[in-house]
Structure 1
């Protein structure tokens, strides 16, 4: 009998805060560095940015010998290939995920769902509520906070009322925190989050251009954001991505296999 994977989403109503970025980064980290088997359901159907990213990276591999040899060495050492990415409509995501898992010979530890930037329709809400865990990136600004709270607080009330829902917990975390921001502002926001009895993660992700650093069309630049490679070890330093992944693994109770 196949194991039941965890369904996980990075989701937010505020655009440009990093839900797709963290979907890719965490999926790649777990798959390539932690030895876990993951899949991604790209539910942002009009864009399918994660799915398109994979296609773009494969095209680049065809003409870049450096990344070709790097990929071959990685897959040989791991004994497995890239994780699958499936482009689906958000309202069909759970059904398609179940069908995909049933058709696969391998077991999966986690399936990541990259949801649209809005959940204002029944299909997306149903998919959201079918997750095991949701992680919400947010920037330390009033606009981001208001958007996040208006999105999460009603969801939390629904979870409190309907105990049978699958969603266990929702965890917020700071993203794109500029080093110049005053600590008292973060403390102010933290108190506000606590007032609503929401869960705030300890890891803080700093503002950094490395989070947008994909593989180059030509050359051999180090890669941070990729569906084919894990984040480069040198670029990991100071990014706090490793801390975020470890905290997530502790929350969802997944153990590394490497």
Structure 2
């Protein structure tokens, strides 16, 4: 029997449409939560068609191993941090929750607050629904494209309705947020669909995550100081200014009631 008081929360990053920035945001948010906020977590990469989360870690590992300077810098960074990089596991969607539970049970010296699931980008409807209902929360980025919005809102409504009706469902909420917003223009689609989302009584976070080329900056091309998308460290605070990322992370911490390192007395 699962101990509900001690079990970590399951947080899925999911979207019905590819290309909305789901995996990139999962990678960046995981690193901010773990390295900066002190929230102990591990990641399940369930997108076997791409393995973008897992492959990012493998690319970074290879780059660090090949560079003596980077290797030394990373050793100093983790020594100062006082812990290792968070773990990333691959799993098929149908086995993801079972695999996560086995990792939780198998690493007895770790107390996890959170398990982050990077959902498949192109999963079948049944597969996606089954995995969704096993999450505590789902974060679902949406962007100002009508075709994408129709699909994403249908998914959110279905999960909400099924989750409420099923007594054994784990899902508490699916949380939508606007991503890839162009700050240079007033977007009528965002205004109109924000009203519609509220009419549907779905959860929509305030604020936006803004479009910027920085989100794609990796260790291989931008080095330690310029890296934004990484499984080894969070993007520097200066690089995050104006992106909406810190506001997103703060909302996640508050809504999921996560205990940060300050609250844990470890700061």
Smaller-chain TM-score bracket? over 0.9
TM-score by length of 1: 0.94
Deviation, 1:220, is 5.3
Match of 1:205 among 184, 202, 209: 209
2:264 alignment partner in structure 1: none
Unaligned runs of 5+ in 2: 262-266
Match of 1:256 among 251, 256, 260: 260
1:73 alignment partner in structure 2: 76
The 1:123–1:110 alpha-carbon spacing in structure 2 relative to 1, beyond 3 Å, is same
1:153 alignment partner in structure 2: 157
Are 2:243 and 1:243 equivalent residues in the alignment?
no
**For structure 1, which segment, 44-53 or 181-190, has the greater mean C-alpha deviation from structure 2 after superposition?**
181-190
CA distance in 1, matches of 2:158, 2:111: 34
Deviation, 1:63, is 2.2
1:139 alignment partner in structure 2: 143
Deviation, 1:114, is 0.7
Paired residue secondary structure (2:29): helix
User: Which residues of 2 match residues 44-123 of structure 1 at below 5 A?
Assistant: 44-104=47-107, 105-123=109-127
**For structure 1, which segment, 171-180 or 155-164, has the greater mean C-alpha deviation from structure 2 after superposition?**
155-164
Deviation, 1:150, is 2.1
**Offset from partner CA, 1:40-85 (integer Å, 9 cap, x none):** 0000112211111101100000123443233222211221100000
2:238 alignment partner in structure 1: 234
Unaligned runs of 5+ in 1: none
CA distance in 1, matches of 2:221, 2:71: 12
CA distance in 1, matches of 2:259, 2:155: 31
- Structure 1 stretches of 4+ with a deviation exceeding 3 A read 121-124, 217-221
Deviation, 1:121, is 4.7
8 Å CA contact retained: 1:43, 1:116: yes
CA distance in 2, matches of 1:73, 1:202: 38
The 1:174–1:219 alpha-carbon spacing in structure 2 relative to 1, beyond 3 Å, is closer
8 Å CA contact retained: 1:224, 1:230: yes
**Offset from partner CA, 1:60-118 (integer Å, 9 cap, x none):** 00123443233222211221100000001110001100111111121111000011124
Deviation, 1:188, is 1.2
Are 2:210 and 1:215 equivalent residues in the alignment?
no
CA distance in 1, matches of 2:250, 2:84: 23
How many positions carry a matched residue from both structures? 258
2:28 alignment partner in structure 1: 25
